[in-house]
Amino acid sequence: MSRLRPSVRERTPIPSPEPRGYRYVDDLEEQNDDALEGLSAKVNLLKNLTTGIGNEIKQGAVELAHMNDAFEETGGILSGTFRRMNTMASRQGCRWLWYIIFLVMVFWFFIVVWWLRR
């Protein structure tokens, strides 16, 4: 009956802990060395990955700082332009408002004609 149904010890893939001489010890050392090499490779991979992520974060922070400076400069230019436009509008009175209304109506007219001709 032992031939048909192997015992638990025979079914396990783990080698038995019973020493079989120097060959057994050498095999265990080789397995440990292989496992250690695999773990070292994984640690190095993770180290390189985290270093790369850190470099990307630093580069992104520098680019964001440059973009922030550019937006501040653009905001200064636009605020100056808006201030000059308000000064011009206050000098001309209400006439500029009529120009804007006229341009909106012309633009609306062209949109309606284009829509009907489609």
pLDDT at 2: 46
pLDDT at 94: 76
State the total domains in the chain. Answer: 1
* CB of 80 closer than 8 Å to CB of 73: no
pLDDT at 93: 74
Consecutive 10-residue averages of pLDDT for the chain (118 residues): 50 58 84 92 96 97 94 91 84 80 96 92
E strands, the chain, are none
Residue 98 lies in a domain: no
- Write the DSSP symbol of residue 95: H
pLDDT at 12: 53
Residue 27 lies in a domain: yes
* CB of 19 closer than 8 Å to CB of 25: yes
Residue 78 lies in a domain: yes
Residue 37 lies in a domain: yes
Residue 57 lies in a domain: yes
Assessment of whether the complete model's pTM goes beyond 0.75: no
Residue 106 lies in a domain: no
The range of the structural domain enclosing residue 56 comes to: 17-93
Coil, helix or strand for 85?
Answer: helix
Residue 41 lies in a domain: yes
Residue 102 lies in a domain: no
- Write the DSSP symbol of residue 21: S
